[in-house]
Chains A and B, each alone.
Chain A
Amino acid sequence: DGGITQSPKYLFRKEGQNVTLSCEQNLNHDAMYWYRQDPGQGLRLIYYSQIVNDFQKGDIAEGYSVSREKKESFPLTVTSAQKNPTAFYLCASSIENHSYNEQFFGPGTRLTVL
């Protein structure tokens, strides 16, 4: 079955700790994305990557970092610099980063800062 997996489903973090959210896809897609979802605010783009070893900041990149060492993997690190990290995080991918391409979404990771 082709798709996108995210792990863990739920993640708890103490203030001041960095945490890494996993995103893997076996769709052979070139482009991958990370979004943050907060109640009543829709989805906001954190980072995206069009090819391996390259990525660009989205609209709310501060306090986050990513890497794209493999085509199928795009992990997101939430650093201690992120002031309000509690949110639902969604990873997505598309064939290419073109505006007409459908994005496929993973099931999400809910991060809670204690």
Chain B
Amino acid sequence: AQSVTQLDSQVPVFEEAPVELRCNYSSSVSVYLFWYVQYPNQGLQLLLKYLSGSTLVKGINGFEAEFNKSQTSFHLRKPSVHISDTAEYFCAVSDRNTDKLIFGTGTRLQVFP
């Protein structure tokens, strides 16, 4: 069965600094990959997704992620963060056999002024 590992539970960073949130998944077979963002006491919002094609995916709010098949990773990056980026970020992988979305445990990004 598919699994998703988000290696960092919390990432503190200063405003305007770059950030990388790490995500690894378990299977090397073809997958669909997603990053969602959750602001406090709200639902999840899609940041970006990888279905096929270019391994560099650009999303909303200046975020991007790179699909690396050999390392089974899908790390999320932003070159310069804002205070408003403070939120919880979830990586998710679709299991093609079951059509279920498997979520990681989340990374809390805290941006300080």
Contacts and interface: CB of A to CB of B under 8 A. Distances in A.
Interface of A: 4, 6, 40-45, 48, 58, 90, 92, 97-100, 102-108, 110
B76 to A, nearest CB: 15
Q: How would you classify the secondary structure of chain A's contact residues: helix, strand, loop or mixed?
A: loop
B96 A42 contact: no
Contacts of A97: 99
16 contacts: A40-B105, A40-B106, A42-B104, A42-B105, A43-B44, A44-B103, A48-B100, A58-B100, A92-B44, A99-B32, A99-B94, A100-B51, A100-B94, A104-B46, A105-B43, A108-B43
Interface residues of B, number: 23
A108 B96 CA distance: 26
Contact of B105 (A4, A41, A99, A104): A41
Interface string B28-45: 000010101000011111
Given A97-B99, A99-B32, A102-B49, A42 B90 contact: yes
B43 A99 contact: no
